Amino acid sequence: MEWVQQVDSPEFILRTLNRTVILNWTRQFRIDCLLIGMTELQEEIERRSAIGSEVEVAAASALASWIKFIEEQRGTMTDDSYIHSPELWGTIKKLKANEVQS
């Protein structure tokens, strides 16, 4: 927001901000944050599996598929449907049920 202060008329910019503009501005950042979290979860699952802990294989495979899909599509995503997908969050919840709230 520092750049807003450098504009001649920051009030105009702030008046034109609405939910849609903010969502569009932050979409790539939110997708990148989601991918970071998903990748960290995938690494944790791989560590658990390596030490012999039980891992839900289908959910781990689904997570890997989601990561690949979002990485491939993130530059062209024009809405938040993937970020809020019930299937995605269901997969994450299966793998990290104690930390994900519905």
Q: Note the pLDDT tens digit of each residue in 36-50.
A: 999 999 998 999 889
Distance CA 3, CA 100 (A): 35
The amino acid at 61: S
Is pLDDT above 70 for 32?
Answer: yes
Distance CA 5, CA 25 (A): 17
Q: What is the model's pLDDT at position 95?
A: 86
Count other Cβ atoms within 10 Å, centred on residue 85: 13
Count other Cβ atoms within 10 Å, centred on residue 56: 13
Is pLDDT above 90 for 8?
Answer: no
Whether the full predicted model's pTM is greater than 0.85, yes or no, is: no
The amino acid at 79: D
Distance CA 70, CA 27 (A): 12
All residues at 6 or more sequence positions from 40 whose CB lies less than 8 Å from its CB, including other chains: none
Q: What is the model's pLDDT at position 97?
A: 58
